[in-house]
Structure 1
Amino acid sequence: MAKHPDKITPPEILSPAGNYDALLGAIKGGTDAIYLGVGEFNARQGASNFTPEEMENAIDLAHLHGISVYLAFNVPVKETELQDAIDVIDRAYAAGIDAVIMRDLGFIELVKKNYPDLPIHGSTQLNTNNTETVKFLEKLGLSRIIVARELDTAELKHIIDSTDMDIEIFAHGALCYSYSGQCLFSSFAANRSANRGACAQPCRWKFDLFINGKNMNHHIGGVSPISCAELCTLPGLEELINTGIKSLKIEGRMKRAEYVTASSEIYKETAEITCQDEKPDSNWLQERENDLAKLFYRGFTRGFVLGDRNVTHPEYSSSYGAFLGKTRRVKRSKNAASIKVKLNQTLEVNDGISIHTKQRMLGSKVERLTVDGGDVEVAEKGSIPYIHISPKTVKSVKTGDDVYLNTDVSLLEEMGERDVKKVPVNFQIRANIGRQLEITASAGDIEVLHVSDYLIQEPKKAPTSVEQITDIIKRLGDTPYVADKIELKGEEDIFIPLGELTRTRRSVVEKLQQKQLERFHRHPKNPKLPAAKHKTGNKIPGKLLLSVEVADIEGAKAAADSGADVIYIPADLFDKVENNKELVLKVKRDNIEIVFTLPAIIHEKELEEWTNVLRKIKIKEYTVGCGEPGILSLAHQMEIKCVALKSFTIFNSPTTNVLQANGASRVILSPEITLEEMKNVVQASDNTIQFEAIAYGRQQLLVTEHDLLKPIVEKGFYGEDSNAFLQHKKKDRYPIKRWRNRTVIYDSHVINMLNNLDDMKNTGIDYLRLEFSHESNRKIASVVSDFRNILDGKSKKNITDSKVYSKGLYYSGI
């Protein structure tokens, strides 16, 4: 068990660097570490990201400023990408990257095997919620875990106290509505994978919430019901630091450099004050929070981590700034318009404001400010100016509308004009007549010497003065250094050409920089992955088996009666299954395999419950479906036959190998890969592991800790049998279920590959998987029978085209 000292060291501040300007912004803000992405192998493809060459330069620049660099490589890797992916790792390794942030279990093992000395940080995409998953990842070789955003501080501290690994959390920035790594919404709604870093942000879309045919938007506060507010833990930083957290991460690789500077600086300063046993002044904290809001704001939430259970901001889903005040009067004419507002913030001409009208949020630049009849450049907080804005904007504005400051020009200029903090260097110049010019430069514990070929001369005319020498040494230009102490040893009445002095200074600085970076640079390893070893026999099974996932006992009976070879059923129904003699006799007689599925989300407080269920499953010798590493590891230790569920996001054969080594005899491939990509995985994997792929089903798009339907339930409008869905643009309907106060959202379409079974069979998979989350027992029986009859050669029935059915991503890809 980890022990934490009484005196707490400030946690690392980890800042986003989506491009070079943001990297400079992070350095200006005094960050401790930055994270960046290269090309498409990261979860922010929308950021500018870095080329491999830019990455190398960024690593060097950060290291010269004493800043660590982590490479975000937090996406699942396709089978055909493995060599390219490890080539990027190799280049980062050689350049001196401090750690790699990863989520692909198989690729983690590949990297660890080839680079045992390279620290790996487990991405929040791994969805770590309990100590068993922490143990699994520690065994895999990780040195740090970015835990799930949904943990509260008690859960966080319990995990920190149970491990010697570093634990990192997100402290500020955008929140995903879904548990990270478990979202398919963007893939199936917009053909852009969130898991692969190309999220279209469907959670920011406008939706109508319907319960039993009635629109319920007025009960949940707006038309963006699943849009999250921005996380801001600044007021609760002391509580977070007291858990023993190692690193506070700021989200924002797609945000501007000024945001990175301000957020880095504010969180670092607050953390340092807190760790000095001082409590930050509440007014000071509020001002800092206002600055953060001016740079990006769509409402702030303290997050699940600080006990805020309602993390959404349904009223408006885009950034609109810090609250400025309410309109007291609106004046308009054909060519001019103004609003009167008592200011909650200082306002300047050319600032940007947002006005929340009944129709929508409107934006405008502040063209003029008038106080007591006279124009001013700055209106102070507490004053009541007329704010002159565009006449077009003011048309919809009414008295009482909220006004926000969304662009603070002075704050942006202040952040932009900050100097990059430079490294102090001490110089010693030795100059004696008849001897070579020597300059020593030292920074920290590193010291270098450069000896010039030039011999110091007696002056023929005027000597070279101490002031001239000092002035030349100070000219460090765009280097990361600033001259701190300059000491001249030797004779005073000497002559050194200023050009020679400049060349010698430049040489010694280059040596210093080279020596500083030598500590980080490594020799590349250039690993070449072996060519995929294809199965030599039985590449395509003679007969596909049929697995069926159902939600209840009656669905299980319908599946059993209609020809299922395997039935998946929720593990919390274990006792009901065992008590249903008819079903038990049926599955035994027909040799049907029962798989009890456990959730993909299991918090520490739920671990004991599911461990007890595992014990029951073991006694009866059933199979268990595991959706997260901790439960897979437990089941493996208990010697229970396991299936790795699709929540593991399986894209490649190394991942199937890791899962097999940890007890999985069968895996369900990700529905995000194409049939061709599926074939690549099957052919490259071990012969002894089996594969399932979805042939029918309405996909679960996300699961969230947010209880979307809670206000509807409390008002009595929702029950277990209610029909709930989100509707987008009056066409796509996304069904919703409430499970243990969590929210589960499903796709508006149903994958149906009945007409394409030969294509699925040719991938080499062993099982066709049919999933039924909402269908009636009659529908389950009908669909299972249709697939059974085709597999048995009894029917060639084809489904007709339907707007409800789709082929998922099997042909289009992501």
Structure 2
Amino acid sequence: MAKYPEKTNSPEILSPAGNYDALLGAIKGGADAIYLGVGEFNARQGASNFTPEEMENAIDLAHLHGISVYLAFNVPVKETELQDAIDIIDCAYAAGIDAVIMRDFGFIDLVKKNYPDLSIHGSTQLNTNNTETVKFLETLGLSRIIVARELDTAELKHIIDSTDMDIEIFAHGALCYSYSGQCLFSSFAANRSANRGACAQPCRWKFDLFINGKDMNHHIGGVSPISCAELCTLPGLEELINTGIKSLKIEGRMKRAEYVTASSEIYKETAEIICQDKKPDSNWLKEKENDLAKIFYRGFTRGFVLSDRNVTHPEYSSSYGAFLGKTRRVKRSKNAASIKVKLNQTLEVNDGISIHTRQRMLGSKVEKLTVDGGEVEVAEKGSIPYIHISPKTVKSVKTGDDVYLNTDVSLLEEMGKRDVKKVPVNFQIRANIDRQLEITASAGDIEVLHVSDYLVQEPKKAPTSVEQITDIIKRLGDTPYIADEIELKGQEDIFIPLGELTRARRNVVEKLQEKQLEIYHRQPKSPELPASIHKPEDKIPDKLLLSVEVADIEGAKAAADSGADIIYIPADLFDKVENDKDLGQKIKRNNIEIVLTLPAIIHEDELGEWADILGKIKTRGYTIGCGEPGILRLAHQMEIKCVGLKNFTIFNSLTTNVLQANGASRVILSPELSLEEMKDVVKASDYTIQFEAIAYGRQQLLVTEHDLLKPIVDKGFYDEDSNAFLQHKKTDRYPVKRWRNRTVIYDSHVINMLNNIDDMKNTGIDVLRLEFPQESHRKVAIVVSEFKKILDGKGKKNIPDSKVYSRGLYYTGI
């Protein structure tokens, strides 16, 4: 069996702490580190999170237990939030935070400059899929990267072997359907930004998949086709550990404390067994996985990391528990109801069950259990009891329905009753008559001494016994300590009032705690950003340029004929661009800038193809459109003119500065910004860089590694000319496209700012961007012409009224 690299320690178990109870749960479960969020500056606004004061206490508590703490600050920061954001970092820094998890390039740069000794972990939101991106992130000063969840173990090991940075992966918990950091679905469908931690989870919604007008849900397994199962890598943990991974992360800052305890404990124990060069027993692993399912389960997937390509669970999108059995018989009356089930799990009264009926999943508490007519509190696995449940629930239940155990009361109680593991402390008490009482306390390498004002006395009556002294010292209450060795030195026949002993113990323990924490605490730096880093005057261009993104050569010709100043074309069409003389003449005649766009998702095995195309682009002097850090790095090295695409999620001028320093001459602002927020970014930035913003187009909401349409393709119902969309509530239709076995989903609405061009111009941007990911060439020509007329002062702001059109988030923001 392969051994863990270098036979050092097992990988860190990194657990979620959405609140104080979950923090205690992580300590109980033996976590090595926890991650938490403060306020709204993290990707889980739905968690309780911590106030700055609560964060300080949480950091201290974790450190006293030898646990590292990472602050999740993994959101893009708006221009007006920069001071508040750095203030929270300063508070965490002073409190002794071990690292900050971040995704905003500009804010990373700001924090690194102000706190060079603070470790920064690159969030999975940075979408790290290849070694070139790793090299780019190294230049930002990161010490760890949480790589994309879409990597398999071979890709993971290749990245680990290529860098000295620590690499972390998600090992358990909920999966995002989209590549992280690339999802706009919640923003445009529910006005709640996933990038900002307020995801409405539209991937959990019910959809009907239509191909050329026909409902195809029966071919893909259910009404929740883009809802992911829960990641569980426990059976493949040995394979993950053998890559040399530094940290195994458990998702779940919105889950209960018992979930944190159980998942931390199970992954910790399994990792330690593997790293002791032992193989976990397969039956034991199944039992542990079953325990995880009983606490939270919406189906388990091994994830892309363990080569499970079908990560969805379309049948049902909520947690419903571990499989219990099938209904064999249903009894019902006016006031009572029961179902007969052969149990696949032990079941107790007050447990919770889910029943998957033909209509929907129903839940009920187990009110009573009877076996052979007799009432029992516990029905063992393998038995066939009647489970007595609510008569209302049983109305829809039929023979053969699947039943699940969704609340195992005993397991939850067991997790809740786990003791918080305490830190062992050795005490030495020195007591000699007419001398001051002295107590030394030591934990690990730290030792403190407390000298009491009290002078030890001769006993006038009964002396203070060794048992009394020991008993007082052991009373450590709710401190994080437990007495290990207690040594008494000095005379035996002495008297010390028990109150004095108690005070002395309390004082020495407080000193020990202070000394343990002082190695973490730092002096705050309180950096102050300029009160206003805006220019005194607004930047308003004399005339806006017009850029057009198209999907093919004919679209490019239509754009060129209709007045485009800049045309974006997929980079894999390079040869067609070069060989089409008609397009070449139009480009030359109209002095059009051509930008060849590369995808924002590039895995290691795809790098070579795109690097070759970059070489061709350089020889012809074209610009590239880049939304991926690794490609940005390559282009900068090759001195190719570059546009930073919206995939970089530009929310502030600091990010603009970082991209400009790495070769971007123009950037496309995030469509999640309002017009006022765009103006803030432009005014605070260097005017030597151009800004571009979307004025028309159906937005790409997400891209996923999951091949949603594969079952349809395999059955011959879909080809590249097919019309595919997901329909939600009979109103919203989201177009679906298959690209290289990945899935791309677009918005049901089209941003159209034709009537609001002046508002866009007043933000100070330089380029209006029109996007046509799927539209006809005729549509391209019509829309481009209309915008061009307005920009030339020759047209009217007139657009046909349509429910499909929207103004995006420009007047609402997120």
Task: Give the match's secondary structure for 1:747.
Answer: strand
* Residue 798 of structure 1, CA deviation: 1.5
Paired AA for residue 503 in structure 2 = R
Paired AA for residue 596 in structure 1 = L
| Partner Cα separation in structure 2 for residue 454 and residue 538 of structure 1 | 72
Corresponding residue of 1:508: 508
Task: Give the match's secondary structure for 1:253.
Answer: coil
| Partner Cα separation in structure 1 for residue 721 and residue 537 of structure 2 | 49
Paired AA for residue 504 in structure 2 = T
Task: Give the match's secondary structure for 2:438.
Answer: strand
Task: Give the match's secondary structure for 1:534.
Answer: coil
Corresponding residue of 2:156: 156
Structure 1 pair 538–508 and aligned structure 2 pair: CA distance change class (3 A): closer
Residues 1:588 and 2:588 aligned together = yes
RMSD of Structure 2 on Structure 1 (CA): 0.9
Say if 2:5 and 2:242, in contact at 8 Å, map to a contact too: no
Residues 1:360 and 2:366 aligned together = no
Stretch moving more, 509-518 or 389-398: 389-398
Q: Deviations over 1:687-707 (max 9, x none)?
A: 100000000000000000000
Structure 1 pair 39–809 and aligned structure 2 pair: CA distance change class (3 A): same
Corresponding residue of 1:146: 146
* Residue 332 of structure 1, CA deviation: 1.2
Corresponding residue of 2:32: 32
Say if 2:437 and 2:452, in contact at 8 Å, map to a contact too: yes
Q: Deviations over 1:411-462 (max 9, x none)?
A: 0000011110000000000000010000000000000000000000001111
Q: Where do residues 243-642 of structure 1 align in structure 2 (5 Å cutoff)?
A: 243-535=243-535, 539-642=539-642
Corresponding residue of 1:722: 722
Residues 1:77 and 2:69 aligned together = no
* Residue 551 of structure 1, CA deviation: 0.3
* Residue 536 of structure 1, CA deviation: 5.9
Q: Deviations over 1:728-787 (max 9, x none)?
A: 000000000000000000000000000000000000000000000121111100000000
* Residue 159 of structure 1, CA deviation: 0.1
| Partner Cα separation in structure 2 for residue 95 and residue 536 of structure 1 | 38
* Residue 4 of structure 1, CA deviation: 8.3
Corresponding residue of 1:750: 750
Paired AA for residue 511 in structure 2 = K
Task: Give the match's secondary structure for 2:331.
Answer: strand
| Partner Cα separation in structure 2 for residue 354 and residue 158 of structure 1 | 43
* Residue 391 of structure 1, CA deviation: 1.0
TM-score computed with the length of structure 2 as normaliser? 0.99
Say if 2:143 and 2:165, in contact at 8 Å, map to a contact too: yes
Q: Deviations over 1:630-685 (max 9, x none)?
A: 00000000000000000000000000000000000000000000000000000000
Stretch moving more, 197-206 or 530-539: 530-539
| Partner Cα separation in structure 2 for residue 519 and residue 278 of structure 1 | 36
Corresponding residue of 1:687: 687
Q: Where do residues 108-119 of structure 1 align in structure 2 (5 Å cutoff)?
A: 108-119=108-119
* Residue 535 of structure 1, CA deviation: 4.0
Say if 1:8 and 1:244, in contact at 8 Å, map to a contact too: no
Q: Which runs of 5+ in 2 are unaligned?
A: none
Residues 1:212 and 2:197 aligned together = no
* Residue 532 of structure 1, CA deviation: 4.0
Say if 1:293 and 1:321, in contact at 8 Å, map to a contact too: yes
* Residue 533 of structure 1, CA deviation: 3.6
| Partner Cα separation in structure 2 for residue 446 and residue 360 of structure 1 | 59
Q: Deviations over 1:550-584 (max 9, x none)?
A: 00000000000000000000000000110101101
* Residue 331 of structure 1, CA deviation: 1.2
Corresponding residue of 2:698: 698
| Partner Cα separation in structure 1 for residue 484 and residue 531 of structure 2 | 55
| Partner Cα separation in structure 2 for residue 95 and residue 483 of structure 1 | 27
| Partner Cα separation in structure 2 for residue 480 and residue 84 of structure 1 | 33
* Residue 5 of structure 1, CA deviation: 3.9
Corresponding residue of 1:665: 665
| Partner Cα separation in structure 1 for residue 534 and residue 480 of structure 2 | 52
Q: Number of aligned pairs?
A: 812
| Partner Cα separation in structure 1 for residue 134 and residue 368 of structure 2 | 57
Task: Give the match's secondary structure for 2:748.
Answer: coil
| Partner Cα separation in structure 1 for residue 282 and residue 620 of structure 2 | 59
Task: Give the match's secondary structure for 2:594.
Answer: strand
* Residue 537 of structure 1, CA deviation: 6.7
| Partner Cα separation in structure 2 for residue 727 and residue 392 of structure 1 | 32
Percentage of identical aligned residues: 89
Paired AA for residue 127 in structure 1 = N
Task: Give the match's secondary structure for 2:483.
Answer: strand
Corresponding residue of 1:64: 64
| Partner Cα separation in structure 1 for residue 804 and residue 538 of structure 2 | 35
| Partner Cα separation in structure 2 for residue 130 and residue 9 of structure 1 | 26
* Residue 6 of structure 1, CA deviation: 3.8
Q: Deviations over 1:338-385 (max 9, x none)?
A: 111111110000000001111110111011111121111001111111
| Partner Cα separation in structure 2 for residue 306 and residue 775 of structure 1 | 38
Say if 2:4 and 2:242, in contact at 8 Å, map to a contact too: no
| Partner Cα separation in structure 2 for residue 588 and residue 176 of structure 1 | 44
Corresponding residue of 1:793: 793
| Partner Cα separation in structure 1 for residue 584 and residue 249 of structure 2 | 50
Q: Which runs of 5+ in 1 are unaligned?
A: none
Residues 1:738 and 2:738 aligned together = yes
Paired AA for residue 416 in structure 2 = G
Paired AA for residue 776 in structure 1 = S
Say if 2:563 and 2:784, in contact at 8 Å, map to a contact too: yes
Q: Deviations over 1:607-649 (max 9, x none)?
A: 0000000000000000000011000000000000000000000
Q: Deviations over 1:140-171 (max 9, x none)?
A: 10000000000000000000000000000000
Say if 1:535 and 1:687, in contact at 8 Å, map to a contact too: no
| Partner Cα separation in structure 2 for residue 711 and residue 307 of structure 1 | 18
Say if 2:193 and 2:199, in contact at 8 Å, map to a contact too: yes
Paired AA for residue 591 in structure 2 = N
| Partner Cα separation in structure 1 for residue 28 and residue 212 of structure 2 | 54
Say if 2:4 and 2:277, in contact at 8 Å, map to a contact too: no
Corresponding residue of 2:231: 231
Paired AA for residue 616 in structure 1 = K
| Partner Cα separation in structure 2 for residue 169 and residue 797 of structure 1 | 50
* Residue 8 of structure 1, CA deviation: 5.0
Q: Deviations over 1:172-214 (max 9, x none)?
A: 0000000000000000000000000000000000000000000
Say if 1:174 and 1:230, in contact at 8 Å, map to a contact too: yes
Q: Deviations over 1:274-299 (max 9, x none)?
A: 11111100110001001100100000
Task: Give the match's secondary structure for 1:148.
Answer: coil
